Amino acid sequence: MRDRRDFLRTTATAGLGLALGARSLDGRPGPGAPDASAATLGPGPLQEPLFAAPPIETVRMGFVGLGHQGVPHLENFLRIPGVEIAALCDIVSGKVEAMQRRVVDDGRPRPAGYDRGHEDFRRMCDELELDLVFTSTPWRWHAPICIAAMETGKHAATEIPMGVTLDELWAMVETAERTRRHCVMMENCCYDRTEMMILNMVRQGVLGELVHAECGYLHDLRRLKLTDFYEERWRVAHSITRNGDLYPTHGLGPVAQWMNINRGNQFDHMVSVASKGRGLNLWAAEHIGPDSPEARQHYALGDVVTTMIRTRNDETIQVVHDTNLPRPYSRKVLLQGTRGVVRKYPEQKIHVEGISPPHRWEDLLDWRDRYEHPVWKALEELSRGAGHGGMDYIEDYRLIQCLREGAPMDMDVYDGAAWSAVAELSEMSIAQRRVVDFPDFTRGAWRHRPPLGIVEVGDVSAATG
C-alpha cells in the first residue's frame, strides 16, 4: 500500500476538481499540502473531536434517486417531524412526478422536480436553498452528488457505499472538512435491533475485551443483477469489471462501532482472496439462455470474497462478500470477547462464561429485556412497518434528530470513508496478492475521538409524522 502514496498524492482529488492539498494513503500531507493545523481544514479531525453543525429547526430536503431505496426513505421522512420535502431528482420523469403527487397527497407543498438527465442534481444544488441532499442512486454517483451538495452549502447523506474509490473517499472527507458540512453514509444495519443490542452489551462489558468478529453481506442477487431490477442494470456492471468485496459496510459498520474504529481504534491492514466465479454465468444460462449475452459475459467478481482485517488494538475481523450463489440471506454477525461470544445468524445465540451453561449456547432474545438499546425502546412502535424491520426508519429519524439538535452524527464522514474503503482495498489485495494498509482518514485523530455512546432519542410523543 505504501508504494501507492506518490500516485495518490497527484490523483486523489484532481479528478473531482478539488484544490485541497494532496495527501498520501495513510493521511500524511504530501508535497504542497497545507499544514495539518491550518484553518483551511475546516472542522478537520485536528480541530475538534466530533463535528456538530448548528441546529436546524426544519430540515429542507432534496432527494436524488427515487428507486428501490429512495422511495422507502422518502416515505420515512414524511413520517418524521421537522422535515420539508423541497426537491426531487431522478433520471426518470415519471418517478419524479409520482413522488411529487405522493408529497402533495400528504398535505404538503409540491416539491420542485429535476429530471434532465444524470447530472441534474447539480442544477438542484445550485438553484435551491436546501439543508440536506439525500442520495439513493447507483454507486458511481454517490461521491459527485455529495460533493456538489457540500460545495453549495448543504449537508449530504448517501446510501451505501459512501464512495467507490479511495480517491472519492478522500475528496469527500476533505470537502466535508473544508465546507463544514456533514457527509453521512446511511448504513441501516447499524440500527438493526440485534446489532444495537450487541452495542449496548459491549459498552456494558458483557463480552469482556473484544478479540474477533465475523460479518459480511451474503445475499443471492443473481436475478436482480441479471434482469432489469436495477435501472440501466448498473449493479451487474460492477461484477463485470471489479473483483473484490464490493459491498462491505452492512456487516462491517456495526462491527466498527463495537470496536470503536476511528474513535480510539483503527483498521490497520487487511488481505483479501476471491474464489472462482461461476454463479452468474450458470444462472444466466439456465434462466435467460445458454447463448444469451449474460451467459457468455465474463464476470470479474469471484463468487465468494473473504477479507481478514487487523485493527490497531489487535482485534481481527473476517468480512465475506457472497452475492452470486444460491443461499439464504445472512450478514454472518459474530462477535467474540474474553468473556463470551454472540452471534446473529443462522440463529441469535449467546454464551457468556459464568452465566451460560458450560459449552452451550443460550437464546439471545432471552437477554433482550436487560440489554435492549434505548433507541429501539423509544422508536419501536414508530418504526413498525418501515423497511428492513424498522431499522430504516430509525436511521432516518436519527439523521434528522442530530441535524435538528445540532448534535454529532452517529456515523460521520470518517466512518463512512473507512468502512467503504474496504472495497477498493480488497480489489488491490486480490489483484496484487498481498496485504494492504488502510488509509487513515482522520490523520491520527482516531486516537482521541470519543466512541459512539448509547444514545437516547428523548421524547418521541410528537413524532407521529
* pLDDT for res 156: 98
In-domain check, residue 18:
yes
Cell output for 38:
491550518
Mean pLDDT across 53-74: 97
Mean pLDDT across 86-101: 98
pLDDT band with cut points at 50, 70 and 90 for residue 207: very high
Decide if 284 contacts 223 (C-beta within 8 A).
no
* pLDDT for res 389: 87
Which range (29-33, 257-261, 363-367) has the least confidence? 29-33
Summary mean pLDDT of the chain: 91
Mean pLDDT across 295-317: 98
Mean pLDDT across 239-246: 98
pLDDT band with cut points at 50, 70 and 90 for residue 459: confident
In-domain check, residue 47:
no
261: left (phi over 0), alpha (psi -120 to 50) or beta: beta
CA distances from 266 to 146, 272, 299, 312, 440 (A): 25, 18, 33, 5, 8
Structural domains counted in the chain: 2
In-domain check, residue 369:
yes
* pLDDT for res 41: 39
Is the pLDDT at 310 greater than 80? The verdict is yes
Q: What is the tens place of the pLDDT at every residue in 253-293?
A: 999 999 999 999 999 999 999 999 999 999 999 999 999 99
Is the pLDDT at 17 greater than 90? The verdict is no
CA distances from 111 to 69, 90, 463 (A): 19, 13, 22
**Helix, coil or strand: residue 187:** coil
Q: Is the peptide bond before 161 cis (omega within 30 degrees of 0)?
A: yes
CA distances from 240 to 196, 231, 246, 277, 393 (A): 35, 16, 12, 11, 33
Is the pLDDT at 3 greater than 70? The verdict is no
Nearest C-alpha neighbor of 442 from the set 11, 35, 36? 36
In-domain check, residue 326:
yes
In-domain check, residue 310:
yes
> How far, in Å, CA of 199 to CA of 272, rounded?
27
In-domain check, residue 287:
yes
Q: What is the tens place of the pLDDT at every residue in 422-438?
A: 999 999 999 999 999 99
* pLDDT for res 29: 37
Nearest C-alpha neighbor of 201 from the set 330, 339, 379? 339
* pLDDT for res 42: 43
Decide if 127 contacts 66 (C-beta within 8 A).
no
Is the pLDDT at 28 greater than 60? The verdict is no
What is the full DSSP assignment across 214-261?
A: EEEEE---HHHHHSTTSGGGHHHHHHHH--S-S--HHHHHHHHHHTTB
What is the full DSSP assignment across 89-148?
A: E-S-HHHHHHHHHHHHHTT-PPPEEE-SSTTHHHHHHHH---SEEEE-S-GGGHHHHHHH
In-domain check, residue 34:
yes
| Structural Rg of the chain based on CA atoms | 22
Q: What is the CATH number of the domain that holds 350?
A: 3.30.360.10
In-domain check, residue 58:
no
Q: What is the tens place of the pLDDT at every residue in 117-165?
A: 999 999 999 999 999 999 999 999 999 999 999 999 999 999 999 999 9
The H or E element containing residue 184 is strand 183-185
Mean pLDDT across 224-249: 97
Cell output for 363:
437464546
Which range (15-29, 164-178, 197-211, 227-241) has the least confidence? 15-29
Decide if 65 contacts 135 (C-beta within 8 A).
yes
Higher-confidence residue of 460 and 404: namely 404
* pLDDT for res 462: 61
CA–chain centroid gap for 411, Å, is 9
Nearest 5°: phi and psi at 234? -70, -30
Is the pLDDT at 6 greater than 90? The verdict is no
* pLDDT for res 22: 38
Nearest C-alpha neighbor of 146 from the set 162, 160, 131? 162
Is the pLDDT at 35 greater than 80? The verdict is no
Q: What is the tens place of the pLDDT at every residue in 154-163?
A: 999 999 999 9
List strands edge to edge, sheet with 112-114: 112-114, 83-89, 59-64, 132-135, 155-158, 183-185
Which residue range is the domain that position 214 belongs to? 190-374+413-447
Decide if 327 contacts 222 (C-beta within 8 A).
no
